[in-house]
Amino acid sequence: MIALEKNIEGLLFYFGDEMSYDDIARYTNASREEIEQALSVLQNGYRERGFELVLHNNKAKFVTSDSTSVLISEIEKKELEGDLSKAAQEVLSIVLYTGPISKGYIDYIRGVNSTVSVRNLVARGLIERSESVRSNYSVTHSFLESISVTEVTSIEGYADMRAKMLAILQQSKKES
Question: Per-residue pLDDT tens for 41-59?
Answer: 999 988 888 888 889 999 9
pLDDT of residue 9: 92
- The answer on 102 and 36 residing in a single domain is no
Number of domains in the chain: 2
User: 92 and 165 share a domain?
Assistant: yes
CATH of the domain at 45: 1.10.10.10
Q: How confident is the model at residue 38 (pLDDT cuts 50, 70, 90)?
A: very high
Asked if residue 91 and residue 39 are part of one domain, the reply reads no
Q: What is the pTM of this model?
A: 0.58
61/136 same-domain check: no
Q: Domain limits at 97?
A: 83-175
Work out the mean pLDDT of the chain and round it to a whole number.
87
Q: What confidence tier does 142 reach under pLDDT thresholds 50, 70, 90?
A: confident
Mean pLDDT of 59-74: 83
Q: pLDDT digits over 152-175, tens only?
A: 888 999 999 999 988 888 887 777
Q: Is the pLDDT at 8 greater than 90, yes or no?
A: yes
Tell me: do 170 and 141 sit in the same domain. yes
Average pLDDT over residues 23-50: 92
Is residue 133 very low, low, confident or very high in pLDDT (cuts 50, 70, 90)?
low
Sheet with 51-56, side-by-side order of all strands: 19-20, 59-64, 51-56
